Amino acid sequence: MKIVVLDGYAANPGEFSWEPLQSLGECIIYDRTPKDKTFERAQNASVILTNKVVITREMIENLPDLKYIGVLATGYNVVDVEAATEYGIIITNIPAYSTESVAQMVFAHILNITQRVGLHAYRVRNGKWTESEDFCFWETPQQELYGKKIGIIGLGNTGSATARIAQAFGMQVFAYTSKTQEQLPKGIEKMEIDELFKECDIVSLHCPLTPSTKHMVNERRLNLMKESAILINTGRGPLVEEQALADALNARKIYAAGIDVLTQEPPIVGNPLFKATNCFITPHIAWATTSARQRLMNIAINNVKGYIEGKTGKEINCINQQNE
């Protein structure tokens, strides 16, 4: 069995061994695969693993040996699922491997924005505290989270983990979710989306990207927010209309934004958020803690191993041929 990893570097730049996967068959691992090399490298493979390399219908139609596509992520929009299903190709993903890491990044951004530890540590190193006339100084408002309202859009695994951390800080937690109020954990109140943008001090995005959620954060909803409000996006870049967010930040219509994902990645030069006021951008690393990537590797390899052993459906996190 020929196994091809098209872009293994992001998940495993060197900390982990590929040997468990290599033991399952002839295995070729590429750090990265440019678009014009994808079809060539996938030739004769029974199993393909991809993170961000796109697998199109045309490729699927012309790869007769292909039986299995493993996505090294939770989202699987890089694969033409309809075409793969038509051709009897199993697609698997890696659910919930980074839940705690992403929730942690949500609060890394929140704490950075509300207290700016890095900025103040930098100022101390450059002598400002030494030169201070007082025993302390601060350059940005120091904000307490206790009692503040956080609105969570999407209460799946990551949204729920974020809510749990918010409760530990003593925050009031509200959620826009398809779940009923009776289904929500204690201490979380269901709220309609426009009310959530209007009432909450912090809004954190955790919903999937669909046609209905694309640009859900737009000029109209940003205008609903408080001038002191903070927007956090560790979900999907296109949930946010980036020019509208930049305009809102620059006009001081909202206080700040913490962003880990952008519409295009790597981003284009001149993305309007790069120079927006109080916009803090990290390079899509919420998922990338060592612990999360080790889980990803373990699950990905177990998915392939299970497929070879004849397992199907939920046993191998199959998303297009689920067991009833």
**Active site residues per annotation:** 236, 265, 284
Name residue, tokens 């209007």.
198
CA distances from 178 to 136, 138, 204 (A): 47, 42, 16
Please, which residues have CB within 8 angstroms of residue 142's CB and are 6 or more apart in sequence?
A: 114, 115
The arrangement of strands across the sheet holding 188-190 comes to 188-190, 172-176, 149-153, 202-205, 230-233, 256-259, 279-281
Give kind and range of the element (H or E) at residue 202: strand 202-205
Q: Pick from 14, 116, 73, 35: which is nearest to 299 by CA? A: 73
- Going from the C-alpha of 11 to that of each of 18, 78, 97, the distances in angstroms are 11, 16, 12
